[in-house]
Structure 1
Amino acid sequence: MMPDYAKSLPNTMNHFVHPFTQLAAVEVSGPNVIMSGQGARVTDRDGRELLDGFAGLWCVNIGYGRSEVVEAARQQMSKLPYASSFFGSANEPALQLAKELVRLSPDSLQHVFFTLGGSDAVDSALKIIRYFFNVTGRPEKNHVIALERGYHGVSSAGAGLTGLSSCHRFFDLPLPYQHHIPSHYRYRSTYGGTDAEIISGSVAALEAKVAGLGGSSKVAAFFCEPVQGSGGVIVPPEGWLAAMRDACAKLDILFVVDEVITGFGRTGQLFACDWERIQPDLMTIAKGLTSGYSPMGAVLISEEIYRALVDQVPSDLAFAHGFTYTGHPVSASVALACLEIYQREQLPENSKTVGAYLLKGLEALREHPWIGDVRGKGLLAAVELVANRETREPFDPGLGVSQLVRKKAYENGLIVRAFADNVIGLAPPLIVSEDDVDQMLDRLARAIHAAKTELDGA
């Protein structure tokens, strides 16, 4: 017999556990159920059409309903729905995709290890780094450094590398070998107000952290996102990424770029590394790789690291890491179809031009007393809401301002992301037009106004 408390729950909540959700709240409200999608719009279970201002979860870059991607998946499922990549086996789509990713990515990256998504790509990168230094006789190089407010997934290891307290609390994280330095967060900078101060301050902080951990002989790698995503869409000053890459080279530590969010045109280049011609030692990717149509991620690896995995181990020792679905043929076929669309339709260029239009439109909303900061790059943008624009005083977290704005946006036909610290994020599909952006801006403005009216009345 069903217990009495369960009878009151929305029927979908009896069994489904939502990620990154205040579970008690959704037990009361029930979930927003999305039923279909076409282009940059989705329709929910109540028949409401919404502009998807967040591309699912930063991932549906090519938009919904792309028949050529569905057909690629159908054909591959009919021909070969699964093939193991263990024990030296492979399938043609995965081999072709690895070759194409190496062609498109920074020249330093020559090998590809496939995962199911971004979190296990980061986890795989951490394991590869540990393996690399162990087999090359440097086991003491095992500390890793990342940025506060950075996001590197939520695997058991990656969640500690993530620099968000909500991903640590009650999970016993970060792990002892994981460390953080302050973000390049310009609006609330701890380094100073100018770009030069932020860059020099970040380099100095990295150098100090390495020294504090015992020097370069103890530190393996530095991880960063070209634009911090879940930390609130925090864009570094121009030149920051190159300066940190140079600092890592001087410190003899690996430079790992997490392009899970920024890859595949999101910032206006195919990879955000391309803006400053960065050559990383490893790079993690996912999301836009398959545009969310099928799960897949990857770690791109330099020749030096790969050769150590091949040459510096006993001949009878396998590289004992991998997943059942590594190099899944259907996901690889989907990814190849997506890559063809990115290039044929020049979606990174559209992201750059329409993204500039979006940022200009968000700047025009600054007249609202709640908007303290506007920031973005390509079709990756955010507004930060504050209680006092002059002093940059944040809202009391208990007010739930960003969540209220997100709710009002949904009621006005727009999906946005509500981050901690009252930041509203926008990352629509890369196919959006300026007309789509105008509608997003109008609906966001109405949502902010409605939220303020409700709080003022309360």
Structure 2
Amino acid sequence: MFKALRPRQNATNQFIHPFTQLADVEDDGPNVIVSGKGVTVTDRDGRELLDGFAGLWCVNIGYGRSELIEAAQQQMSKLPYASSFFGFANEPALQLAEELVRLTPESLQHVFFTLGGSDAIDTTLKTIRYFFNITGRPDKKHVIGLERGYHGVSSTGAGLTGLSGCHRFFDLPLPNQHHIPSHYRYRSSYGVTDAAIISGSVAALETKVAELGGSEKVAAFFCEPVQGSGGVIVPPDGWLAAMRIACAKLNILFVIDEVITGFGRTGQLFACDWEHVEPDLMTIAKGLTSGYSPMGAVLMSDEIYRALVDKVPRELPFANGFTYTGHPVSAAVALACLEIYERERLPENSKVVGAHLLKGLDALREHRWIGDVRGKGLLAAVELVANQESREPFDPRLNVGQLVRKKAYENGLIVRAFSDNVIGLAPPLIVGEADIDRMLDRLARAIHSAEAELHEI
């Protein structure tokens, strides 16, 4: 019945790694993680590592939590799968939708479940097109994001992402996808004061909308409350609210991408809560299940949902969805995760311990490579530069960020190296100050070790 077994080969090039220089993995092999507990993971060589990046910004409640394991096991025993097509539903998904509407901003009243962040963005883009088509505004097709923004890597979402590495050789961005400069204070094109950055961003959005033909042609503006994969770029206080007001005046939809920032990462359950911003649509994933099971979601306003119900011929279904939309096991895991966030007050811990993290990172400025320190809650980064005073970046060929990441791993710490030599930290939200101190010590040693290696070249 099965093919004859082929001789076992090196699996290095059989498993294709995302966001990885594939030639490096072929040369050196992958770092294989085999177990995790709390804020640490253990690799195949028995090395215990502090996970300073919560997997991929997602393992918020830490590894090995029995509550989530039991929730998944019980649901698998009762109902391991249920389709959401054709009007079917399952109890965990219905309950989760109700909980998410309760917890998110009041403007969001309806939930569409996905498998993660990228397809949540893709679903949002499709829904926006659908919404304007069925409401008699078919020319509203342009969407605007921020340079250095990240909105996944689906065939459409990757173009909205404002990172060139997600565009090259993929024929992106698409003709209807546009970007305005980031609120990137350290290398700002708007000025360095909060007022200048906010007014400059609003003016840039207004100008871009006008260039594209006005509100009759532009559908939406997308942003992250804190830019994640662009280098953990935190906007000035008031920026998010100002952009929301600008979108309302311009008559375009305001979409918040909380895939990274949601579920306590910045010190509030959702980052938009800091400024009481009410979006038209919001995407979530990652912390929804703490990475224990794949799941994401799009939350939308009642205005958009009512159009999907009332403006479409009765014989035409809303033809969007996935085999695993509203998966009962993932929904059960998410419900258990939400209970832990509330019971253990993890957003508050993120705020308190996050302040300790930023203070510790700020102390690293004594090292001549540290150009900028930034963050919000347990979402932080340091930007490495060749010269602190001039902010001169390193020669890209030196790959300084990747060298520091590798040295951190050797010192028992997992961090993220972004482009432009930015080192990111986003540990599990259960982390304590003692764990943070150990992370900071290992990061400092990694930077010194990287400097010594470069000095020898």
User: Alpha-carbon deviations, 1:13-43, whole Å to 9, x = none?
Assistant: 1310000000011100000000000000000
Pairwise CA distance, 1:10: 8.2
Determine helix, strand or coil for the equivalent of 2:420: coil
Pairwise CA distance, 1:177: 0.4
User: Alpha-carbon deviations, 1:169-202, whole Å to 9, x = none?
Assistant: 0000000000000000000000011110000000
Residue equivalent to 2:3: none
CA–CA distance in structure 2, aligned partners of residues 296 and 397 of structure 1: 36
User: Alpha-carbon deviations, 1:386-445, whole Å to 9, x = none?
Assistant: 001110000011100000000000000000000000000000000000000000000000
User: Alpha-carbon deviations, 1:85-132, whole Å to 9, x = none?
Assistant: 000000000000000000000000000000000000000000000000
| Contact 1:221–1:255, Cα closer than 8 Å, also in 2 | yes
Determine helix, strand or coil for the equivalent of 1:334: helix
Residue equivalent to 1:149: 148
Residue equivalent to 1:3: none
Residue equivalent to 2:275: 276
**Over 3 Å off, 4+ runs:** none
Residue equivalent to 1:179: 178
CA–CA distance in structure 2, aligned partners of residues 385 and 72 of structure 1: 42
1:148 and 1:10, CA in 2 relative to 1: closer, same or farther beyond 3 A?
A: farther
User: Alpha-carbon deviations, 1:348-391, whole Å to 9, x = none?
Assistant: 00000000000000000001000000000000000000001110
Residue equivalent to 2:403: 404
Residue equivalent to 1:237: 236
| Pairing 1:350-369 to 2, within 5 Å after superposition | 350-369=349-368
Would you say how many aligned residue pairs link Structure 1 and Structure 2? 451
| Uncovered stretches (5+) of structure 1, i.e. residues with no partner | 1-6
User: Alpha-carbon deviations, 1:123-156, whole Å to 9, x = none?
Assistant: 0000000000000000000100000000000000
**AA aligned opposite 2:403:** L
| Pairing 1:71-150 to 2, within 5 Å after superposition | 71-150=70-149
CA–CA distance in structure 1, aligned partners of residues 176 and 9 of structure 2: 42
Determine helix, strand or coil for the equivalent of 1:56: helix
**AA aligned opposite 2:287:** G
| Pairing 1:5-24 to 2, within 5 Å after superposition | 11-24=10-23
CA–CA distance in structure 2, aligned partners of residues 355 and 12 of structure 1: 39
CA–CA distance in structure 2, aligned partners of residues 388 and 272 of structure 1: 33
| Contact 1:118–1:298, Cα closer than 8 Å, also in 2 | yes
Residue equivalent to 1:165: 164
Matched, 1:342 2:363: no
Residue equivalent to 1:370: 369
CA–CA distance in structure 2, aligned partners of residues 188 and 204 of structure 1: 18
Determine helix, strand or coil for the equivalent of 1:109: coil
TM-score by length of 2: 0.98
| Pairing 1:248-327 to 2, within 5 Å after superposition | 248-327=247-326
Determine helix, strand or coil for the equivalent of 1:319: coil
Pairwise CA distance, 1:227: 0.1
CA–CA distance in structure 2, aligned partners of residues 373 and 108 of structure 1: 36
**AA aligned opposite 1:378:** G
Pairwise CA distance, 1:216: 0.7
CA–CA distance in structure 1, aligned partners of residues 171 and 140 of structure 2: 23
| Contact 1:12–1:30, Cα closer than 8 Å, also in 2 | no
Matched, 1:36 2:35: yes
CA–CA distance in structure 2, aligned partners of residues 236 and 14 of structure 1: 40
**AA aligned opposite 1:319:** F
| Contact 1:409–1:416, Cα closer than 8 Å, also in 2 | yes
Determine helix, strand or coil for the equivalent of 1:310: helix
Residue equivalent to 1:4: none
